[in-house]
Structure 1
Amino acid sequence: MSRYIIEIRSKTATDPEATIGYDRPLRTYFLTAFPDPENEAVALWLGAFLEEYPSLESLVLAVRTQGYEITGLTHADMIAMLKEAGRPTPPGIGELLGLVR
């Protein structure tokens, strides 16, 4: 799993330490932002399910649809995530047993 620190903004809030990356076991791009200082919950969490965002573009579109904008994502970070996503990942045990679809 890769993780890169980015900034995410809405009209009313900014998180300068949001996380974006690619989760190989789930085969999805993900983004987390706006953590609650009292616990481990985050206000924005996309890409928590199997193949939810199979492309970086689909994740960026979902972020924008929810009223946020990503900044600080470098070209090198994008290339690294695309390379990781391009490596085949075999099905996990949950998929093989039919528990995850």
Structure 2
Amino acid sequence: MSRYAVTLLKGERTDDKAVIGYDPPLRTFFLQGFETDDDFGTPEIWLGTLLEEFPTLEGIVEEARRMGYELRDLDHADMIALLSEAGHVYEPSLAEKLGLIW
């Protein structure tokens, strides 16, 4: 699983500790930002938690924008690394093969 630091903006607020990455077992891009103070440390925005939810980098960025967030500071090299990781063929997990995850 890759994780790259990015800056996430929403209105006047900024989170310079947000992360974007690719999760091979779920075969999805993910984005987390704006940590909350709840007991579990759940981020305010947490996209990419479901199997193949965001198979493209463009798709997750568009969803974040639809929710009012803007992504900044993802440099070219990190973007290429993310796309390269997502371009591999990942076999279904045992849980998927047994029908426990769909």
Question: Where on the TM-score scale, by shorter chain, does this alignment land: which range?
Answer: over 0.9
Aligned to 1:5: 5
Aligned to 2:19: 19
Structure 2 residue runs of 5 or longer lacking an equivalent are: none
SS at match of 1:14: strand
Shift of 1:99: 1.0
Q: TM-score, normalised by structure 1?
A: 0.96
User: What is the RMSD of the two structures over their aligned residues, measured on CA atoms?
Assistant: 1.0
Q: TM-score, normalised by structure 2?
A: 0.95
Report the number of matched residues: 101
The amino acid of 2:18's aligned partner reads A
Deviations 1:30-52 (A, max 9, x none): 00001124542111000000000
Aligned to 2:100: 99
Distance 1:34 1:10 in 2: 10
Pick which of 79-88 and 35-44 moved more. 35-44
